[in-house]
Amino acid sequence: MDNILKDSFSSGRRLCPYKDKCYRKNPIHFNEMSHPHLEKLIINQLDSPITIPNDINFKCTDKSLLLDQLTVLQMVLNKYKNINSKSQTIENNINPLEKTNTNQYDVKKLKDLEVNNKAIKLDLLKSEKDALIRKRASSNNIDNISESHINPIYSFYSNIDMQSFNQNSSPKKSSRHKIHLCVPGEFALKYALSSPYYFFLTFVEQSESTHKQEFTISFPELLDISLGEIVDSLHINFIVEIGWLCLQYVLAAQNPNMTIFCGSVCDPQTSLPANINLILVNMPSAYGCHHSKISVIKYSDNGIRIVISTANIYKDDWENRTQGIWLSPHLSQLPDSANSSDGDSPTEFKKYFIKYLTTYKQPQMKKWEHLIKRADFSAVNVFFLASTPGSHKSLNLNSWGHRRLSTILSEHAVLPPDASKWTLLLQCSSIGSLGSNYEDWLLPNIVASMSKDKAKEFKSNPNCNLIYPSLKNYIESFDYKTGSCCLPYTKKNHEKQKWLKKYLHQWRAEENSRTKAMPHIKSYTRISPDCTQIPWFVLTSANLSKSAWGTTAKSGISHYIMNYEAGIVFIPKFIITQTTFPIRKSNSSKIPVFRLPYDLPLTQYQPSDTPFVIDFLSN
């Protein structure tokens, strides 16, 4: 029976390209891709403690990693098994008399009803699409508007959505899309009111008070017609759900031409139309991760916008989690007479963004590099901060990761004489292996870099607090109710670094109505003793890990990073011509408040609290 389960589970999933060299421990990855070498080991141990046999028929250099992977896979397979068994139990428990009673469960009728509902939903999509086209035509005084750029993606979404629904394998996300509609043509006003920060938190479906917040954004709003008519898009991300992404373009009635660079896709069974170009990024290290979350949107006037995000492009990340989004101003095309080096901002965003894109060394990226070189970035008021895999030396030593942040802060951050009292706040959704104590990696790399400021005199290191959800936070969250999770910290890692607990603080976001929306956002800052000011703020895809931020060699001549990451740095002098951002409203100041994603003062872990670990889901 278990072998039948294994075959059923594997049949609907793409083989992991790393095969027996896979290092991943993320449940999402194991739910999307097949790992026959691991499935063979675990399939007969689904309800018992895991043991690793002496003869495993593949090379294993780290049995501890193997055990972690088997633990996660055991959890995924048990969840898959339970879903299937519940479905079978419902059908088996319906006796012949009940099957004739329309007031009782009728499995066939339920399935037929779902198919009908699916067709109804697609009709609604078409009606919504037609309404959006009519609205666009009337708002622009256009008598005849072509639907040629809308219909292909509508047909594509219709096909893949129905195909995925009709498959007999495990349910696919694309068959359960919930539609969040916003009034088209209105986001430009909300965007203008977000000046000068242009920093948003994502819409939370189950927290109604977030729906009307001026700093809330949904994916359809990123594509809103009020920002321009889209002709092409570039999406750089970790995980992408093609069907869900296409649905967003359908609802926005925008052109679906797009290039996608990502680590993996949620729906690999989907056949892509010619106007979607998908590139799966191969990492130089099996332990590295393509974790950046960037979009570039091109408009009909050849202008562009840049989106820096903490969210993957799949529905779970945009429904009930806390994510951070920065959306650039419209960046117009430079005159033909301009040099490609023209049009940068005082923060040199353009220079470092192009430097990042060129590291892919992919022909599909060339047109985007050219487009960005021809764009005017002078209105951008933040710094681009990225990580790229490799051992960086010489001229590139300070180009990436925490060393890049250190350079930015050393040149531009201004702190008062009591800077050592300005606590460092680290907030993330996962924690890597940080070493046996605070001084091992965290202090000499992260704290040292994030303590820098323009004044060069010696200052003692600030206190450091880490905001990461406790087990209690997770149990009370929206994710817990649906059995989903975006917090892959492992029990094994935490057992090795229990020293971390004294730095840990709860996830609380009552002021933003997001306490129950688990944080997939990653942010870093320092805060004044009275909790009213910050000297800088980082929004990034980078979790607190060596892979994301890098490790500087003791010799100081090299900096090793394993991941692709991307983020931005807000420095007050480039945005509000001050030395700090206000984070509390003041009657004496007209400067807009910079909104932090969490509550202040922080809530420290109690002795009985433990950090959430992904192993909890397998219990």
Please report, in range form, the residues annotated as the binding site for substrate: 293, 522
Cis upstream peptide for 601 (omega within 30°): yes
Catalytic pick from 35, 37, 520, 559? 520
What number of residues does the chain have?
A: 619
Measured N-to-C along each axis, helices 151-166 and 242-252 cross at an angle, to the nearest 10 degrees, of: 140
Tokens 């730095």 sit at which residue? 503
Given a contact cutoff of 8 angstroms between Cβ atoms, the answer to whether 341 and 254 are in contact is no
Beta strand 504-505 with 464-467: parallel, antiparallel or unpaired?
A: parallel
The structure tokens listed for 306 are 């840049």
Buried b (16+ CB within 10 A) or exposed e, 508-526: bbeebbbbbbbbbbbbbbb
The structure tokens listed for 526 are 């320092």
The structure tokens listed for 337 are 């007479």
Pick from 103, 121, 72, 197: which is nearest to 570 by CA? 197
The SS3 assignment for 453 reads coil
Q: Phi-psi bin for 64: left (phi > 0), alpha (psi -120 to 50), beta?
A: alpha
User: What distance in Å separates the CA atoms of residue 350 and residue 338, rounded to the nearest whole number?
Assistant: 15
Catalytic pick from 291, 330, 412, 559? 291
The SS3 assignment for 408 reads helix
The structure tokens listed for 411 are 């040149």
User: What distance in Å separates the CA atoms of residue 291 and residue 307, rounded to the nearest whole number?
Assistant: 15
Find the helix or strand (DSSP H, E) in which 480 lies: helix 478-482
Measured N-to-C along each axis, helices 151-166 and 107-139 cross at an angle, to the nearest 10 degrees, of: 170
Query: Which residues sit in the known binding site?
Result: 293, 522
User: What distance in Å separates the CA atoms of residue 499 and residue 435, rounded to the nearest whole number?
Assistant: 10
Report the Cα–Cα distance between both ends of the chain, in Å, rounded. Answer: 22
Given a contact cutoff of 8 angstroms between Cβ atoms, the answer to whether 273 and 156 are in contact is yes
Pick from 32, 277, 250: which is nearest to 131 by CA? 250
291 is catalytic: yes
520 is catalytic: yes
Kindly list the catalytic residues. Answer: 291, 520
